[in-house]
Structure formats: C-alpha cells, structure tokens
Amino acid sequence: MIVGIGNDILNIKRINLKIERRILTDLEKDNGKLSAQYLAGRFSLKESFFKAIGTGLGENSFKDVSFVNNKFGKPYAVFHKDFKGFNFCHVSLSHDDYVFSTVLLERVKGKIFLGLGSNLGQREENLKNALEEIQKNNIEIISISSLYITKPYGYKEQDDFYNIVIEIDTDLSPTNLLNTLLYIEKKMGRRREIKWGPRNIDIDILFYGNLVVDLPNLKIPHYDFENRDFFIAPMYEISKDFVHPISSKKMFEYFSNLSINWRKLEWNLKNI
C-alpha cells in the first residue's frame, strides 16, 4: 500500500553551492563530486521525501536522510533518523536544466527479516521460546526457515549454533523493533560477555523491507550479511528473490556462491 508520495522540480541554475553545508551529509559528500547538479538533486530528493512523509521539513533536518548512488548510479535513501509507517522507499531522479525527483513510500506486508541463533543450553527450545516472545509483542511471524546447524563465527572455541531466519510483519519502526528484540533477549537471560561469544539467544534485524538505516546503534541491512552463511542460506530458503537494498543482488545470487558447510534440519515450527 502506498502511504506517501512526494515530487519536486528544481532549476539547477538557481542552486547556490553555499547551501551544501546545510543540505549534504558526510555520506553524500563522499558519494559524489560537488556540483550544482549533484547538490540540486539531493536538495530536490529531500524535499520530495519530506513531502512524502506528510510533514514537510518541520522538526526534521535535511541531514536526517542521505541520498547516495549505488554501483549502477541509481540513488537510494539512507536514514539517519527513525521514521515509521513504511518499509519500502522508492526513489527516482532525472535532470536536464531542471532536476525532477519523486519519492514513494510503501507499507508492504512482511518483508522484514530477523536472524535468530542459539548455542547455549537447549538450543532448539531457546529458539522456540524466542518465537513465542516475538509473537507476544504484537509481531506477526509470516514464515520460518528450517534449522541450520553451523560452526561459530569469529570466536571459535564454543559449541555449534542453531540458526533460523524468519519473515515478520510489524508496525514498529526500525528502532522500536530493535528495542523490542533487545528486551526479549534480556528477558531470556542473554549475557554479552565475549564478542561473538556463546549466547542462549541472539536476534538480529537483517532487512527492514528495502530501507537502509544508519544510526549509532542500528545498521540495516545487517552490516556483515554477505559474509554469514547462516543468514544467507535460510534467507534463500524463505525468500530467494528478495533483493539486498544496497548491492541489488537477490538472495539466490548470494546463495549460489556458498560452499555448503552447515546441516539443515526440518523442525515442527517451520510453518506456523
């Protein structure tokens, strides 16, 4: 469902490069060469975004969102503030003497993916309990992968992990979702003592639709997704055509490059 749309047109000749300090984030400064066209494009996209969320600039800042180009030269949004109400942001930008921008916001059911893992105690039971806690917090579970038994990542002197990926639907914003998951981990007795060390439960946000979030305490998509087989394999199982919002690769492209170094188990909560 489309929840917001914003359009903007701007004459490039009217752009004063002095507004760069007010408009561009550090990420945008690093992403493209400063020019009237580049600055006009970013200014126009931000105007379109704030129109799409229905507030205008208001209490927001131009630096709450960056628009950077992917490897194909297509711009996408990076959010530096917690916004709610949508999980897909579509961006269009074209220019000649003017720049023309459109930002369309969608609320699509599901398409939010969590990775869960456990290697302490009754691992399968820990995962089941975590799923129950997730549902108790008004989060709908849409699909659950098989169990993947994998070797530990990073810190090797520990037991194998049981891993799953789930697709969920929620009205929680990215930050509120993170806080809910941290609450569940704490409630279940999670202790953070050794980086990449043993844990009875670990819950990570892998993807939140196609949103890219860059906050001090939250990076979406998961910052190291492409190096973690225990995320890629179950993601491929439940959503092989899902597109990584930064690399533009589908899950089957990631999966095709993997060497199988896990055991896969069916379990009785795969379909709920």
Q: Residues forming the annotated binding site?
A: 8, 47
Annotated binding site for Mg(2+): 8, 47
Active site residues: 190, 199, 202, 204
Q: Which of 221, 116, 249, 111 is nearest to 168 (CA)?
A: 111
d(C-alpha 60, C-alpha 269), whole Å: 43
User: How far is it, in rounded angstroms, from Cα 148 to Cα 108?
Assistant: 28
Q: Alpha-carbon torsion 157, 151, 272, 236, what sign?
A: positive
Among candidates 198, 172, 214, 155, which has minimal Cα distance to 27?
Answer: 214
CB 40 within 8 A of CB 95: yes
User: Exposed/middle/buried for 148, CB within 10 Å: 0-12, 13-18, 19+?
Assistant: buried
